[in-house]
């Protein structure tokens, strides 16, 4: 049976072929399943590396981009994947994300909520869980750092002011923008969204590090607390 990206699942005696093909033809010649098989290294529990890689890719519905958005614990449920292989995969996906960050154009000013949505497009695209992030801005409203604070359901016990402001202070930020996604597709702020925002705005006033906005992104729609007069 072929893998999700069309790669035939080979017998154990042919497991080393992806690595051989990589050195002979270059990494770009390999399928996604073959590249994942090289990361996996060896099989486990009666499954060879290609079968294990095929199962991993299926976790993301055949899409590497969707695989990168799955919770780490879900990757460990894939047959043949333990903490070592799962950790290797997470590290590789993070390296790929950082390569994208490095090739992004120089920081531009965040002038409108729409600019925030454009900035977060790659991070939130296809994401099945909520992420709460902070954009630390300099005095020219350029992004100094994009900070992931928490992943999962948004509540005040998870989004603690200490975690939100610590990295922004380290960057000598002039102000911050809060941003998180609603996978439901509805950008309407929940009571919890509003409570968290009030808490963080108050903390920012004490620290003299203002919260300029809180933007909720939901697919092609968004809500700006600043524009809606909710700050």
**pLDDT of res. 209:** 96
Long-range CB contacts for residues 43-47, cutoff 8 Å, separation at least 24 = 43/12, 43/15, 43/80, 44/80, 44/81, 44/82, 44/85, 45/79, 45/80, 47/79, 47/80
pTM of the full predicted structure?
0.59
The pLDDT of residue 74? 82
Residues shown for the chain: 231
CATH classification of 113-224, choosing from 3.30.450.20, 3.30.390.10, 3.30.420.40, 3.40.140.10?
3.40.140.10
Q: Which residues of the chain have pLDDT under 50?
A: 1, 8-16, 156-157
Where do the domains of the chain lie? 12-102, 113-224
For 105-162, what is each residue's pLDDT tens digit? 655 789 999 999 998 887 887 788 889 999 999 999 999 888 888 887 655 446 788 8
pLDDT at 156: 44
Fold: same for 12-102 and 113-224: no
Q: What is the pLDDT of residue 51?
A: 87
CATH number, domain 12-102, options 1.10.3470, 1.10.150, 1.10.287, 2.40.128: 1.10.150
pLDDT of residue 188: 95
Whole-angstrom distance, CA of residue 228 vs CA of residue 86? 42
pLDDT at 133: 93
Query: How many other CB atoms are found less than 10 A from the CB of residue 188?
Result: 11
**What is the model's pLDDT at position 142?**
93
């Amino acid at each position: 049976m072929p893998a999700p990206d069309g790669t035939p699942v080979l017998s154990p005696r042919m497991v080393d072929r992806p690595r051989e093909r990589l050195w002979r033809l270059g990494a770009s010649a390999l399928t996604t399943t073959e590249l994942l098989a090289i990361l996996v290294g060896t099989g486990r529990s009666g499954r060879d590396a290609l079968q294990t890689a095929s199962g991993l890719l299926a976790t993301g519905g055949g899409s590497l981009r969707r695989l990168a958005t799955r919770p780490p614990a879900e990757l460990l449920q894939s047959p043949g994947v333990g903490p070592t292989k799962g950790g290797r995969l997470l590290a590789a996906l993070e390296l790929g994300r950082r390569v994208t960050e490095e090739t992004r154009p120089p920081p531009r000013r965040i002038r409108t909520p729409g600019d925030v949505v454009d900035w977060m497009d790659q991070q939130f695209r296809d994401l099945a869980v909520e992420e709460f992030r902070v954009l630390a801005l300099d005095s020219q409203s350029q992004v100094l750092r994009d900070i992931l604070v928490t992943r999962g359901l948004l509540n005040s016990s998870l989004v603690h002011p200490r975690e939100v402001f610590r990295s922004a202070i380290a960057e000598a930020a002039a102000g911050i923008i809060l941003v998180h996604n609603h996978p439901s597709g509805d950008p309407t702020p929940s009571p919890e969204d509003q409570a968290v925002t009030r808490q963080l705005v108050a903390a920012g006033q004490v620290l003299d590090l203002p919260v300029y906005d809180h933007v909720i992104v939901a697919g092609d729609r968004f809500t700006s607390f600043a524009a809606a007069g909710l700050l």
